[in-house]
Amino acid sequence: MRLQDLSNEDIAALRAQLEREFELQKGNRLSLDLTRGKPDADQLDLSNGLEDTIAGNYIASDGTDTRNYGHIRGIPEARALGADIMEVPADRVICWGNSSLSLMYIAVSLLMERGIWGDGRHWSSDPAPRLITPVPGYDRHFVLTERLGLGMVNVGIDEAGPDMEAVRELAASDPGIKGIWCVPKYSNPTGCIYSDEVVAALAELPKQAAAEDFVVLWDNAYAVHDFEFPRKPLANLLALAETAGTADHMLLFASTSKITHASAGLGFVAGSDGTLAALEARLNASSVGPDKVNQLRHARFLNGRVEAHMAGHAALVKPKFELVQQILDAELAALDIASWTRPEGGYFVSLDVRAGLAGRIGELAAEAGLALTPPGATFPYRKDPEDRNLRIAPTFARLDDLKTAMEVLTLCVKIATLQDEMNRR
């Protein structure tokens, strides 16, 4: 029965029962964690074959000795791997470092200080440059943006992606709006895939923007992280941008972080000839070349079998996401006190509770030994204006721990909501 249809007495009785359950859970001295969007050990084991790929042969396909300096853009087969993941031509890819986040930091710094067009346009020449941040979104984008001195302007996101009407209006009306953060597939944390219409609109956006140095920052972190195969399609931003004449305003990022080993993988950035040259010049000032041995390991391990490899991840991850849905359905659906997403890939489920209660639920969960991503973390400045969004990261926990954690979480949601309801009535 829906909460709104329960009598005051029913609510008081239910609340008392749930609070007894909560005290019992506290007695169990749990130490559970739903904060970590990282693979578990079984997933990491899928890539241990990386260590066997060199086998005495360090020479890349173009004859490069991967053990020595040089090759800022990466070896051909590693660029081809990035191209496969990002669905762009290999000559539009730089493979560099172990982290796409590092490449994003470098790119946004460069956009602030110097630009990527070789003509003086750069963001810090504006007194208050800002980026559009679809929310809820990825906390590390927000931290990076704030650290680099950019402001943020929120727009909503639904199952088709960002609210493009709001995005266009912002971009068109204000030359201080310099770009937009996107996680286009299995978006963090909602799990949505941007619709073809949204991607097409993003490809056109730089032409409508008031800023002449507007950039779409396309963090395709979960490009191949589907639960079912063949993988779900995503419209091809770079191809659309080339048609639209906006390719110089697109920066695409990806990595193997949740494909192989989370910190020991490869980062990729894709763009136009001109913007890649600008990025290469920047990288060249700080590096004598990326770790090409690791590039070779990855290319030999993954090329031609990315989808088969990701199916191995899906076999481990999908049951966890199904369990999350089962418990959310069983515990919260009837009462109609929360809504949540049902991603078919990626790493997160986004749970929206009654406004004003996310922080309280985080406190209750902590009391019961369950760590949640701090409420607010999915918004810039850690501030969820409605205090209602919670991010669930199911991958790192074992299935039995995940079950307990979800039972505790839903218990906390119910208690907080019942308390709130009683206060209101």
Residues that bind its own copies (CB under 8 A): 36, 38-39, 41, 44, 47-48, 51, 54-56, 58, 65-71, 97-99, 101-102, 104-106, 109, 140, 143-144, 147, 257, 261-264, 285-294
Q: Distance between CA 221 and CA 242 in Å, rounded?
A: 22
- Decide whether 173 or 284 has the Cβ nearer to its own copies: 284
| CB count in 10 Å sphere of residue 417 | 23
- Decide whether 257 or 389 has the Cβ nearer to its own copies: 257
* CA distances, 176 to each of 132, 170, 260, 425 (Å): 11, 10, 39, 46
CB of 70 to its own copies, least distance (A): 7
Q: Which token pair is 15?
A: 């609340």
Q: Distance between CA 176 and CA 124 in Å, rounded?
A: 10
Contact (Cβ atoms closer than 8 angstroms) between residue 378 and residue 350: yes
CB of 321 to its own copies, least distance (A): 20
- Decide whether 288 or 422 has the Cβ nearer to its own copies: 288
CB of 75 to its own copies, least distance (A): 10
- Decide whether 58 or 117 has the Cβ nearer to its own copies: 58
Contact (Cβ atoms closer than 8 angstroms) between residue 250 and residue 218: yes
CB of 99 to its own copies, least distance (A): 5
What b/e sequence results for 29-65 when a residue is b if at least 16 CB atoms lie within 10 Å of its CB, and e otherwise? ebebbbbebebbeebeebbeebeebeeeeeebeeebe
- Residue where the block lists tokens 């041995």: 293
- Decide whether 22 or 138 has the Cβ nearer to its own copies: 138
- Decide whether 97 or 179 has the Cβ nearer to its own copies: 97
Beta bridge partners of 350: 391
Q: Distance between CA 346 and CA 140 in Å, rounded?
A: 16
- Decide whether 185 or 298 has the Cβ nearer to its own copies: 298
CB of 36 to its own copies, least distance (A): 8
- Decide whether 123 or 194 has the Cβ nearer to its own copies: 123
**Bond preceding residue 230 cis, omega within 30 of 0:** yes
* CA distances, 419 to each of 78, 331, 354, 416 (Å): 55, 17, 12, 5
* CA distances, 103 to each of 94, 218, 227, 269, 321 (Å): 10, 12, 27, 7, 30
CB of 203 to its own copies, least distance (A): 27
CB of 290 to its own copies, least distance (A): 7
CB of 102 to its own copies, least distance (A): 5
Annotate 130-177 with DSSP letters as a single string. Answer: EEEEEES--HHHHHHHHHTT-EEEEEEEETTEE-HHHHHHHHHH-TTE
